[in-house]
């Protein structure tokens, strides 16, 4: 029997295991032109929280009692499609199932096997693309500028910081534990790192770490942390709003200081970033990321959890900051 | 004796007459290379409120017991500068004085006298430039899109709406009296106009007026009106944050719904606009505005108040919505 994870109910606030339902179905069979895929790695990401609500958003919501989907790496275990042979690996947006049939449409065959397979869910997948394109397309970093990254120890944030350094910026990371801030400096080369949970006056701490002010803010979290960064933004500053993990589980609209006066005073640009809007730039971006990776200029962290049954818990853990870097479930 | 208006103290909240001080000084005399200017029109603008505070901003604050400055039209009443002759008119940022000496540096000589002189403080001055460049540079209007303008009956807003129409947009104006909303439709050609003071559910009213959603929001006011517009913003919407008159007099930071989730969901761009950042585009923009004006495609309103002594009161009136269009004091 084939294990499948469905959306049981729409989370209210923080997701719980009750929001998911495990079922077993007949093992899928394939028709001519199809391939049978065996899931090997599952990406769990904060943005999935949005798809679990039925609010209008940039991607359609998951349906109740239907499988949840995310980025997967899968192995071709049977093929009736001449483009694929057994043993090939693919990446793509697929169902949370142990096995599933596919025509191959929308999937990417993994041809370069000199990098870890799971990297295609992370630094060479949506995570790396979000970091690279969010930073370059909205942040427009220039040499000598100061970049602040929130959620800096997360999958996207840790890559953003490294790319910022490669492009000549002074980089300051914000994270929620001393272990994370230590790793930001020792492993990822951030110039400064601030633990927002133990720092009483974040506005002052950012001012101290960024004495010339903040030119670019790559925002993964939203909320009060972002208020403190915006209070230090420079004239012509750019804010790439890539995530708001601090707000995803809120059941009411969150209030905060109005940003309009800051935007006017400093001619600041603030823009929401969705990686899928930049699909035309993916090939060039993956190439750049792969080059840096092979030159040893980029490193990445993964938090690997094992077992199909652990997927919902791995997802829930994201909102407790339990991951360092990309959260991946190995099947 | 020469009348001068100084900043007496920094306003707390809404400005009052006590914040200004009238003095008389010796009539100025001029040296070689200088001209003596007699003030004929004075522009009073909401942004001056910011310069009366000593908070860091994009222009340096006014100093206590020093003259206030704004956009003026003045007549050359005496000249020791070969570039100017008596009877010439100039525009520029000058002191609130009846007479003042100048080298002419930073002033613009008015050569085209086929339009009203005061237009150089309005539609052909910073007001028109703010409307045109804010809308085109940040709003990037495309034919068939929906544009919402707040503070629509104000000097900038009424021009923004007309330019929006000229560029093929459906235009919705927000203003604070029924007289103003009527004028928006009858005189300035807005498609729809909403009185935000008498409308209980602004979010719904904007939704009704903009059934296809809002593509561009030209924001002059900030605050709750802007919340209602942002709740209707479309994917890839653009928000030109040009003013926040509803917030200028607040003594505490104003709270509102956090915008980050909206920006992410809809890939929205929100940018603060300061006209002086676009100085390189002024000549071309003035040319365009002048062409439209002469072709009869643009109209404008002025609220004219007479008398040098009335300048502070005219300024205070701005925050009570007493002006229709550009507020100008004729000396």
Q: Give residue limits of the domains in chain B.
A: 2-122+300-330, 126-276
Which residue bears the tokens 């994370």?
A180
What is the C-alpha end-to-end distance of chain B, expressed in Å?
Answer: 16
- CB within 8 Å: A270 and B263: yes
Report whether CATH 3.40.50.300 matches the domain A2-122+300-330: no
- CB within 8 Å: A58 and B265: yes
Which residues in A lie closer than 8 A to residue B137 (C-beta atoms)?
none
| Interchain contact A220–B (C-beta under 8 A) | no
CATH superfamily of B126-276: NAD(P)-binding Rossmann-like Domain (3.40.50.720)
Nearest CA to CA, how far is B275 from chain A (Å)? Answer: 10
Nearest CA to CA, how far is B271 from chain A (Å)? Answer: 4
- CB within 8 Å: A261 and B219: no
- Residues of chain B with pLDDT below 70 are 56-58, 246-251
- CB within 8 Å: B255 and A253: no
Three-state DSSP at B307 gives coil
* Least CB–CB distance from A241: residue in B58, B242, B264: B264
Chain B 156-215, CB below 8 Å of chain A: which residues?
none
| Interchain contact B222–A (C-beta under 8 A) | yes
Q: What are the C-alpha distances in Å from A81 to residues A76, A77, A110?
A: 10, 12, 16
Nearest CA to CA, how far is B293 from chain A (Å)? Answer: 28
- CB within 8 Å: A260 and B241: yes
pLDDT for position B117: 92
Best to test chain B binding among A272, A273, A275 (most B CBs inside 10 Å): A272
| Interchain contact A268–B (C-beta under 8 A) | yes
- CB within 8 Å: A255 and B258: yes
pLDDT for position B250: 67
- Residues of chain A with pLDDT below 70 are 56-58, 246-251
Nearest CA to CA, how far is A307 from chain B (Å)? Answer: 32
- Rounded to 5 degrees, φ, ψ at B135 are -70, -45
Q: ipTM exceeding 0.85?
A: no
Question: Residues with Cβ < 8 Å from B78, sequence gap 6 or more?
Answer: B30, B35, B36, B86
Question: Residues with Cβ < 8 Å from B107, sequence gap 6 or more?
Answer: B90, B91, B92, B94
| Interchain contact A69–B (C-beta under 8 A) | no
- CB within 8 Å: A257 and B255: yes
- Residues, chain A: 331
Which residue bears the tokens 């938090």?
A303
Please, are residues A237 and A216 in contact by the beta-carbon 8 Å criterion? yes
Determine the Cα–Cα distance for residues B271 and A134; give it in Å rounded to an integer.
17
Determine the Cα–Cα distance for residues A79 and A85; give it in Å rounded to an integer.
6
- Rounded to 5 degrees, φ, ψ at B317 are -60, -25
| Neighbouring-strand partners of residue A37 | A76, A100
Question: Residues with Cβ < 8 Å from A280, sequence gap 6 or more?
Answer: none
Distance of CA A243 to the CA centre of its chain: 9
Query: In A16-75, where does DSSP find H-type helix?
Result: 48-52
* Least CB–CB distance from A255: residue in B58, B256, B269: B256
Tens of pLDDT, residues A116-148: 899 999 999 999 999 999 999 999 999 999 999
Tens of pLDDT, residues B196-207: 999 999 999 999
- CB within 8 Å: A244 and B255: no
- CB within 8 Å: B257 and A254: yes
pLDDT for position B106: 86
- CB within 8 Å: A263 and B272: yes
Nearest CA to CA, how far is A86 from chain B (Å)? Answer: 39
Which residues in B lie closer than 8 A to residue A262 (C-beta atoms)?
272
pLDDT for position A156: 93
Which contacts (CB < 8 Å, 24+ apart) does range A15-24 have? A15/A49, A15/A52, A15/A249, A15/A312, A15/A315, A15/A316, A15/A319, A16/A316, A17/A312, A17/A313, A17/A316, A19/A52, A19/A312, A20/A68, A20/A312, A21/A65, A22/A309
Which residues in A lie closer than 8 A to residue B267 (C-beta atoms)?
58, 271-274, 277
Nearest CA to CA, how far is B241 from chain A (Å)? Answer: 6
Beta strand segments in A13-82, E: 20-25, 35-43, 69-79
Which residues in B lie closer than 8 A to residue A251 (C-beta atoms)?
none
pLDDT for position A210: 97
**DSSP β-ladder status, A108-109 and B326-330:** unpaired
* Least CB–CB distance from B222: residue in A243, A247, A260: A260
Determine the Cα–Cα distance for residues B97 and B109; give it in Å rounded to an integer.
19
| Interchain contact A222–B (C-beta under 8 A) | yes
| Interchain contact B101–A (C-beta under 8 A) | no
Please, are residues A191 and A212 in contact by the beta-carbon 8 Å criterion? no
Beta strand segments in chain B, E: 2-7, 20-25, 35-43, 69-79, 89-95, 99-102, 108-109, 146-150, 170-175, 192-195, 214-219, 233-241, 255-257, 269-272, 302-306, 326-330
Please, are residues A246 and A225 in contact by the beta-carbon 8 Å criterion? yes
pTM, two decimals, is: 0.86
- Rounded to 5 degrees, φ, ψ at B119 are -60, -25
| Interchain contact A101–B (C-beta under 8 A) | no
- CB within 8 Å: B263 and A243: no
Best to test chain A binding among B53, B235, B258 (most A CBs inside 10 Å): B258
- CB within 8 Å: A266 and B58: yes
- CB within 8 Å: A58 and B247: no
Q: Which residue of B has its CA nearest to A247?
A: B261
* Interface size, chain A vs chain B, as Cβ–Cβ contacts under 8 Å: 121
Nearest CA to CA, how far is B262 from chain A (Å)? Answer: 8
Nearest CA to CA, how far is A230 from chain B (Å)? Answer: 12
């Amino acid at each position: 029997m084939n294990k499948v994870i469905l959306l049981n109910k729409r989370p209210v606030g923080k997701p719980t295991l009750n929001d998911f339902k495990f079922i077993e179905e007949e093992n899928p069979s394939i028709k001519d032109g199809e391939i049978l895929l065996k899931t090997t790695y599952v990406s769990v990401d904060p943005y999935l929280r949005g798809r679990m609500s039925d609010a209008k958003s940039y991607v359609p919501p998951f349906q109740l009692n239907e499988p949840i989907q995310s980025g997967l790496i899968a192995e071709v275990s049977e093929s009736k499609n001449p483009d694929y042979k057994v043993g090939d690996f693919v990446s793509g947006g697929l169902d949370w199932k142990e096995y599933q049939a596919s025509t191959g449409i929308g999937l990417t065959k993994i041809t370069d096997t000199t990098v870890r397979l799971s990297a295609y869910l992370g630094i060479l997948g949506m995570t790396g693309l979000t970091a690279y394109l969010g930073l370059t397309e909205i942040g427009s970093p220039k040499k000598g500028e100061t970049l602040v990254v929130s959620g800096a120890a997360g999958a996207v944030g840790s890559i953003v910081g490294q790319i910022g350094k490669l492009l000549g910026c002074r980089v300051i990371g914000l994270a929620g534990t001393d272990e994370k801030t230590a790793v930001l400096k020792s492993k990822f080369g951030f110039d400064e790192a601030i633990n927002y949970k133990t720092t009483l006056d974040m506005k002052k701490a950012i001012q101290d770490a960024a004495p010339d002010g903040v030119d670019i803010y790559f925002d993964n979290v939203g909320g009060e942390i972002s208020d403190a960064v915006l209070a230090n933004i420079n004239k012509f500053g750019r804010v790439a709003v890539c995530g708001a993990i601090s707000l995803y589980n809120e059941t009411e609209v969150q209030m905060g200081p109005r940003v309009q006066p800051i935007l006017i005073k400093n001619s600041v640009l603030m823009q929401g970033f969705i990686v899928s809007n930049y699909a035309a730039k993916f090939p060039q971006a993956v190439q750049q990321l792969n080059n840096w990776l092979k030159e040893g200029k980029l490193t990445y962290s993964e938090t690997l959890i094992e077992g199909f049954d652990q997927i919902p818990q791995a997802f829930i853990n994201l909102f407790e900051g339990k991951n360092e870097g990309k959260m991946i479930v190995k099947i």
